[in-house]
Amino acid sequence: MTDSGRTDSREHYFTARPATADERRPLDVTLAGRRVRVEVAPGIFSPGGLDKGTAVLLEEVPDPPPSGRFVDLGCGWGPIALTLGLLSEHAEIVGVDVNERSVELTNRNASALGLDHVRAVTPDAVADETAYDLIWSNPPIRIGKTALHELLRTWLPRLTPEGVAYLVVQKNLGSDSLQRWVESDLRMPCTRHASSKGFRVLEVRHP
């Protein structure tokens, strides 16, 4: 996988159990204005650093509320979930990923940073009735339109009545068509919150 989050033909970061060697290495990165050291490994999304889309999301979204229930959908090694944890110490934050290596890394990184209010799980560990005040996500566009729509159809309706979701999507990978789909299929208000460096940040509200 490259730093942009792309994979080669042998494996995808959305594999539940990556076949590549689980070779951990440290990574120094700035999250929430703080220089931190995290652990990364091959076979996950963007192990070489902070993905460009994720960086745009973190730069453009409003600060999260001090408390509430938040989810990072597609957490990878945890940059979004960890940022939420650093900014909102009284919130309950969960990172979700089908990749079990990603889940383990996010949990290890949260523990190393003393963020005991941040945890990561696979999707089947989350109860269907769980509602969220905030969703931040760099969704896995490359899983294909059908799978992506099913993912968002599962999670976006879990917003609380006052909840909001922010999704970052590369413009040339269909951000505008995804915005139209959210509005027409899910019937949820979806607006362009920001546009930067070839990415759109979409804001989704409870209907």
Strand ranges inside the chain, DSSP E: 25-31, 34-40, 67-73, 90-96, 118-121, 132-137, 159-170, 190-196, 199-205
Mean pLDDT of the chain: 91
Burial code (b: 16+ CB inside 10 Å, e: under 16) for 94-109 equals bbbbbbbbbbbbbbbb
SS3 category, 94: strand
pLDDT digit string (tens) for 46-84? 999 999 999 999 999 999 999 999 999 999 999 999 999
pLDDT at site 151: 96
Give which of 96, 138, 86 is closest to 117, Cα–Cα. 86
pLDDT of the residue at 6: 37
Give the tens place of pLDDT for each residue, 131-189: 999 999 999 998 999 999 999 999 999 999 999 999 999 999 999 999 999 999 999 99
Instruction: Report the C-alpha gap between 27 and 31 in whole angstroms.
Output: 12
Please determine, for residue 3, whether its predicted confidence score (pLDDT) is greater than 60: no
Confidence of residue 88 (pLDDT cuts 50, 70, 90): very high
Calpha distance 44→97 (Å, rounded)? 10
CA-closest candidate to residue 53, choices 88, 92, 99, 6: 6
pLDDT for the residue numbered 194: 98
Q: How many Cβ atoms sit within 10 Å of the Cβ of residue 67?
A: 13
